[in-house]
Amino acid sequence: MTPIELLKFMLPDFLVNHFEVVSSTNSEEILHLYFEEHAKPPEEFSDLQLVSKGFQDEITIQDFPLRGKFVYLHIKRRRWTNKNTGEIVKRDWNLVAKGTRMTQEFAAFLKEINR
């Protein structure tokens, strides 16, 4: 099993596939993981000439606890500029379950155990 495959057991697939872990902080009760989106342009805009122009505001999502610690994912998504039009382009990530600050998988898990 590769390190990437192992990470997919602990983190949402979209993070492992499209983001890089850039730092982390760890205390007795809380683990913070910081991610930045890879500098690869979105596939849905492959016909455009895009240039990475920094990041959108960071979002923070609560994820499944690990080893008794609260886990917070800090995610910075890229924004791209279309070289021809100057238009700002960004991926349409559906990262957060509606009305929560948790990942969709964690929200679905909590919903299921409350039944």
- Identify which of 8, 55, 9, 64 has the alpha carbon closest to the alpha carbon of residue 35: 55
Which pLDDT value is given to residue 103?
67
Task: Give residue 112's pLDDT band: very low, low, confident or very high (50, 70, 90).
Answer: low
Q: What's the rounded Cα separation, in Å, for the pair 111 and 69?
A: 20
Looking at the domain assignment, is residue 76 inside a domain? Answer: yes
Number of structural domains found in the chain: 1
Q: What's the rounded Cα separation, in Å, for the pair 110 and 103?
A: 11
pLDDT in tens, 77-105: 899 999 999 999 887 665 445 555 556 77
Q: What's the rounded Cα separation, in Å, for the pair 77 and 61?
A: 13
Looking at the domain assignment, is residue 114 inside a domain? Answer: no
Looking at the domain assignment, is residue 90 inside a domain? Answer: yes
Looking at the domain assignment, is residue 83 inside a domain? Answer: yes
Looking at the domain assignment, is residue 112 inside a domain? Answer: no
Which pLDDT value is given to residue 4?
74
Ramachandran assignment for 86, one of left (phi > 0), alpha (psi -120 to 50 degrees), beta (any other): left
Once rounded to an integer, what is the mean pLDDT over residues 43-56? 86
* pLDDT: which is higher, 106 or 85: 85
Looking at the domain assignment, is residue 115 inside a domain? Answer: no
Which pLDDT value is given to residue 98?
57
Looking at the domain assignment, is residue 28 inside a domain? Answer: yes
For residue 85, report the phi and psi dihedrals to the nearest 5 degrees: -110, -15
Q: Which domain holds residue 93?
A: 3-105
